[in-house]
Structure 1
Amino acid sequence: MADIPRTALERVLARASELQTTTADGVESVSEERLLEIAKEVGLDLAHVRQAIAEERSRLPMSETESGPMLDSLGPAAVGAQRTVPGTPDDILRRLDSWMPRMESLSTRRRIGDRQSWEPRHDPFGNFLRSFGVGGRRFDLVRVDQVTASVTAIDGARSVIRLDADIAGMRRMQRNQVVALIGVLVLLYAVVAVPVVFLVGTGVGTGILAGVTAFAGGAGFLGWRALRRAYRNSVDRMHLRLEQLLDELEQDRLREPQNLLQKVVGQITAR
């Protein structure tokens, strides 16, 4: 029997999956053991298959978030990062749970199995200050609704961890600021434009009305762009922070603050 070229393997597996889902007796799921048997039969590296299974299991089923033209144009309502790191799920979550309150100003929300979530401390004024930086570093995660870590073991020494930050609340707040800005501009336009309407019959009135309209439209557009840019910058910083946390886990450094400055910052944020 002729071997199947590597370039055709993906197409063969995709077609087999398609045929299975269209048959009347197709099953809804397959056990991990059976999947590994199939992978072995087609010549796939089982270590890679186990890692793929772990990565799939680590995906967090996010709840449906509010959507709309203005919300969607602002940016995503969640940001995530995923990595394969050394350690067992319990060890990784223990290190994160020790780190989050001290260095990210987040408190534990709940833990179920190998999944744990944190939320901002109920200290709005402190979080406001920390979001602008304390001790020379920013706390970019204090504005999230929650951060969830999902860890799945690959083997006894490695695990796949996925960090997901839910920022739907921050996106709604930014949308509300846009709506408020538009409302203020409309109100100011009405206050200025209504008296001018009586002068439209003259050239002066028409010019003033056109100028006021151009100013209101331009201010609204520039304000919208500024708020959208600020939101996306915040999203980028949050994503970078999640990646940095994964870097620390990957290098097995996410344990104690590395220097005196970080220890002082940790004590400040824990108050």
Structure 2
Amino acid sequence: MTITLRQLEIFEKVAVCGQVTQASIQLLLTQSAVSMALAELERLAGAPLFERSGRRLFLNDRGRQLLPEAREVLSRVRRMEQFLEDSIGTPVGSLIVGASTTIGNYLLPAMVGEFSRLYPGAKPLLRVGNALQIEQGVESGELDLGLIEGLQHLPSLMAIPWRRDELVLIVGKGHPWASLGRATPDMLRDAAWIMREKGSGTREIFETAMERGGVNYAVALELGHTEAVKKAVEAGLGVGCLSRMAVQRELDQGWLFEVANPVDLQRTLLIVTRKNDYRSTLMQAFLALLEGDQEL
């Protein structure tokens, strides 16, 4: 049995895309080449790895067992390629950077653009998710490094303090708190809270701060994206708590109003990497850019 790296790469891409057509586009191959590689891999495996429903392909039990092994092999090969590319001493190649939602949407895009300008041969790829998803991606090797806005969950990772950030309470202009400008602990307890989902760094910092302040509260609406929270608060559905950098534009425009409160909502943004992992020239250059932007 001789399985090639190309077959594993095609297998992994089809598993993610769920169809040959999309996988072939992303791999810059013909559909027939992708189909032939899958057929040969399944022949070598002695049985199918996918269940087929029309044009859709779903991993079966054997395929699900193979996928993490294939990803590990591909990850190791990419690290070897990166190491060889680094021998020329200039940051080149792809760096997959994960960022939790607030960082990924409001802070990192400009920095990724600046990095690409400084190093034309480098290609930083940005992946956005909640804080827990980013940590898991770094641990599994799907991400080269991550930036999160919550508390560290996985002790297997190294966490480096990066920047300070502040969460603010926000209400819409028609909310009674908008004219008051501040809220008491009793008001916080009785509020209809509109929050990010569990696993969000913003949600976790809010929960920790409220618990530390001895304030009970009830979540009226849970939404999976910062923009959705802002729109719901702006529509008068309740009170939100988000990063200042995510709501500064709306505060400046008078679409949302900041409410002073007795709870400490300061937090530290973190860079997370794998412990004892090889730091390529490319990663070192990106970390240097991040460290130059520190505001601790």
TM-score between both structures, scaled by the size of structure 1: 0.25
Larger fraction in strand: 2
| Structure with larger RCO (C-alpha < 8 A, sep 6+) | 1
TM-score between both structures, scaled by the size of structure 2: 0.23
Larger fraction in helix: 1
